[in-house]
């Protein structure tokens, strides 16, 4: 019995060794399998984080794209506010003050006629440099401030010996004719600026705007916004009279 026991002991040891090796062998594939499963999850997580960052950047750019126009108009509004607070809207910066008017030619306002039925002609840059000062008013039928200042333009044309020309800005001819037919036409000449190009060349910020052009065709005064009685009596008329009295 003793001999048998001694003989079987090594077998038990061998069995335990095989069992341990089997466990080690079975553990290795499990570890490899774990690594294979974990790696795609890690890559997916990184991809998700990268996608999130890209989305946030896109959202920030989109927000700036929406905000920039508002910031631009806010800056422009501040500029207008400053000019109005100073009591002289013409103080808004203009690179053309003292310079010759830009070269332009405007078609006549389609269908616009005088009281006697004659077609009202248009004008161009050469018409503003014939020795007589001209007041040029930029207007539109859809412009509410234009309606506010219109009675002053009518009085200016009826009670003063001035040349008053109009530039109809980005307007439908039929709408412009209705506007002038209802409230009166103060313009001896009127041109249609359907594209707004001529107004841009003059440096127009927005309608209405009024310019005094000297007899030499130079811009000597600019009023932004609806005309006021003060602007007419202290600026427009004295400059027109000065041009008349010049040799």
pLDDT in tens, the chain (247 residues): 444 444 444 444 444 555 445 445 444 444 444 444 445 556 656 666 666 666 666 666 665 555 555 555 455 544 544 444 444 444 444 568 889 999 999 999 999 999 899 999 999 999 999 999 999 999 999 999 999 999 999 999 999 989 999 999 999 999 999 999 999 999 999 999 999 999 999 999 889 999 999 999 999 999 999 999 999 999 999 999 887 766 5
The residues spanned by each domain of the chain are: 1-85, 90-245
How far is the C-alpha of 107 from the C-alpha of 118, rounded, in Å? Answer: 16
**What distance in Å separates the CA atoms of residue 186 and residue 87, rounded to the nearest whole number?**
26
Alpha-carbon distance of 167 to 189, in angstroms, equals 9
Strand order in the sheet with 209-213: 189-193, 163-169, 134-139, 209-213, 219-224
Spatial distance between the Cα atoms of 132 and 153, rounded to a whole number of angstroms: 19
Buried b vs exposed e over 218-245: b needs ≥16 C-beta within 10 Å?
bbbbbbbbbbeeebbeebbbebbeebee
Q: Domain 90-245: which CATH class?
A: alpha beta
């Amino acid at each position: 019995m003793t001999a048998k026991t001694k003989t079987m002991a090594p077998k038990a040891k061998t069995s335990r060794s095989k069992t341990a090796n089997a466990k080690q062998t079975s553990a290795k594939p499990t570890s490899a399998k774990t690594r294979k499963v974990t790696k795609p999850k890690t890559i997916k997580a990184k991809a998700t984080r990268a996608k999130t960052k890209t989305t946030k950047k896109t959202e920030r750019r989109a927000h700036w794209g929406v905000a920039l126009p508002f910031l631009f108009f806010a800056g422009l509004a501040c500029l207008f506010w400053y000019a109005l607070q100073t009591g002289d809207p013409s103080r808004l910066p203009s690179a053309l003050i003292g310079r010759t008017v830009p070269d332009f030619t405007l078609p006549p306002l389609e269908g616009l006629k005088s009281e006697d039925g004659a077609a009202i002609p248009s004008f161009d840059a050469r018409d503003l440099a014939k020795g007589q000062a001209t007041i040029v008013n930029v207007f539109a039928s859809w412009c509410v401030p234009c309606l506010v200042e219109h009675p002053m333009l009518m009085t200016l044309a009826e009670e003063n010996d001035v040349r008053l020309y109009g530039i109809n800005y980005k307007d439908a001819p039929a709408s412009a004719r209705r506007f002038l037919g209802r409230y009166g036409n103060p313009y001896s000449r009127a041109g249609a600026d359907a594209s707004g190009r001529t107004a841009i060349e003059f440096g127009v910020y927005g309608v209405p705007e009024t310019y005094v052009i000297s007899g030499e065709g130079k811009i000597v005064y600019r009023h932004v916004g609806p005309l006021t009685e003060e602007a007419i009596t202290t600026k427009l008329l004295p400059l027109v009279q000065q041009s008349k009295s010049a040799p």
